[in-house]
């Protein structure tokens, strides 16, 4: 009879250990599932925002599209390939229209980097000039290169659609956020 009591006690301890391990594994499983779900939902939100800015067409009320509300992130020594669309709300053709980025104000120092101040544009925009007819849309695939903005800094910049041969002739502009990453 003593052997049966010892076996029953031994079986009870093993059952308790298995029960505790099962609950611990269940807790870890739930935690990992939650983490995966949160990461996936963040990625999905970013993807939706990106797709919405790419597929968006410009209108007379929103003449420049292709820049999300969070702006661009531009690595210091690398290029960024992107595209914007421009709607010409004027009654005449926007000849030799081309985008450029100027007047970038540092969020930490308040210093403005611009062609007028430095003699060069803070971001070099490589794009092809096009003629955009009245009430028509033009698309600008472009490559952005940082020329003199500091890394690990946020800037408020102005994207302008100008006439290539006369940059002072501005067709449209948009202010946006630019993050320069190191």
CA-to-CA separations, 162 to 67, 98, 127, in angstroms, rounded: 17, 6, 12
Q: DSSP 3-state helix, strand, coil percentages of the chain (rounded to 5)?
A: 30, 40, 25
Report the residue count for the chain. 182
Average pLDDT over every residue of 167-181: 92
Per-residue tokens: 47: 């993807």
For the chain, strand residue ranges (E) read: 64-65, 72-75, 79-87, 94-106, 112-113, 123-126, 130-132, 137-146, 153-163, 166-181
Q: Name residue, tokens 């449209």.
A: 172
In this prediction the pTM is 0.68
> Residue 173: is its pLDDT beyond 60?
yes
Tens-digit pLDDT profile for residues 15-24: 788 878 888 8
Model confidence at 9, pLDDT cuts 50, 70, 90, reads low
Domain 64-181 = CATH 3.40.190.80: no
**pLDDT score at 7:** 58
**pLDDT score at 126:** 93
Tens-digit pLDDT profile for residues 44-68: 666 666 555 556 788 888 889 988 7
How is the chain split into domains, by residue range? 1-55, 64-181
Per-residue tokens: 9: 């006690």
């Amino acid at each position: 009879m003593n052997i049966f009591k010892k076996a029953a006690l031994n079986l009870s301890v093993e059952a308790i250990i298995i029960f505790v391990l099962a609950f611990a594994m269940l807790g870890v499983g739930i935690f990992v599932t939650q983490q995966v779900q949160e990461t996936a939902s963040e990625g999905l939100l970013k993807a939706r925002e990106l797709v919405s800015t790419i597929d968006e067409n410009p209108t007379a009320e929103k003449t420049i599209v292709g820049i999300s509300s969070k702006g661009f992130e531009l690595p210091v020594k690398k290029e960024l390939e992107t595209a914007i669309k421009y709607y010409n709300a004027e009654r005449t053709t926007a000849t030799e229209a081309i985008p450029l980025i100027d007047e970038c104000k540092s969020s930490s120092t308040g210093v403005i980097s611009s062609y007028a101040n430095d003699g060069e544009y803070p971001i070099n925009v490589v794009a092809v000039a096009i003629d955009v007819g009245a009430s028509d849309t033009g698309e600008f695939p472009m490559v952005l290169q940082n020329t003199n903005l500091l890394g690990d800094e946020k800037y408020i910049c102005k994207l302008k659609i100008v006439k290539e041969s006369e940059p002072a002739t501005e067709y449209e502009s948009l202010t946006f956020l630019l993050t320069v990453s190191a």
